[in-house]
Chains A and B, each alone.
Chain A
Amino acid sequence: MIANLPFIAVALLIGISLAIILLKKNMIKMVMGLSILEGAVNLFLVALGYRENGIAPIFTSAPEGAEMVLPTVQALTLTNIVIGVATTALMLALVMVIYKKYGTVNSNKIRRLKE
C-alpha cells in the first residue's frame, strides 16, 4: 500500500479540492480549488505512466538499454497544463468583473439577482 503513495495522494488532493469548491464562499478560493484539482489530475497522469527505473522518453544521449516511461500521458499532461493556465486566467478575469459589479466575491451575496 505504501508503494501506491502517489495514487493515494491524488485521491486526497481531489477530496481536498472538492471540499474547497463545494464548501467555500469566496470565489477566489473556488478558483484555487479548481487549480488544485487540475494539479491532482496532472499528478495522476504522470504517476500512471511511470515505470520502475525508467528514463525520460528522449533518445538524445540516453543510457543504453534503459527502459523508458510511457510518453502518451506526458503529452496529455502538457496539454492539460496549458489549458489550465488559460482557463484560470479567464476565471480570474470573470471574478474581477463580478467584484467590480457587485463589490464582493462572496458567492452567497451575488446569487440573488440585483436590479
Chain B
Amino acid sequence: MKETGSIFHPRFMIVLVVLATLILLVPAVGLNFGDPITSSTDQYYIDHSQVETGANNVVASIVFDYRGFDTLGEATVLFIAVLGVAMVFRRLYK
C-alpha cells in the first residue's frame, strides 16, 4: 500500500473523506439557491446604511463602519503574518 503523510491507514482516510463529502452534500441539497431565508440583518444594512454612514457602497459601510473592529483585527493579522515571513527569511538568507 502506498504510504501517505498521515499515521492512519490510507484506506481509512479515503473512507473518511468520502463520508465527510456525503455529509456535506446533505445541506447542500437542502438549501435553496437564489432565495436566502435569514436575511433580516442584511436587509437592515441595505435599507439604513446610506442614512447612517453616508456611503453608497454597502459592503464598504459594513467593512469599515458596522464591523470596523473586525477589520482592525484583520489588518493586525496581515501585519503579523508579514512580520513572520520577514523573520523566517531573515534567518534563512542572512
Which residue numbers of A lie inside 8 Å of B, CB to CB? 1, 3-8, 10-12, 14-15, 18-19, 22-25, 30, 47-52, 57-60, 68, 70-75, 78-79, 82-83, 86-87, 89-90, 93-94, 96-97, 100, 107-108
Contact = CB atoms under 8 A, between A and B. Distances in A.
Given A23-B13, A83-B78, A3 B33 contact: yes
B91 to A, nearest CB: 8
Contacts of A47: 33
A101 to B, nearest CB: 9
Given A30-B5, A59-B50, A70-B42, A15 B57 contact: no
Interface range for B? 35 or more
Contact of B88 (A49, A72, A78, A94): A94
Interface of B: 3-6, 10, 13-14, 16-18, 20-21, 24-25, 27-29, 31-36, 39, 41-42, 45-46, 50, 56-59, 62-63, 67, 70-71, 74, 77-78, 81-82, 84-85, 88-89, 91-92
A58 B35 CA distance: 20
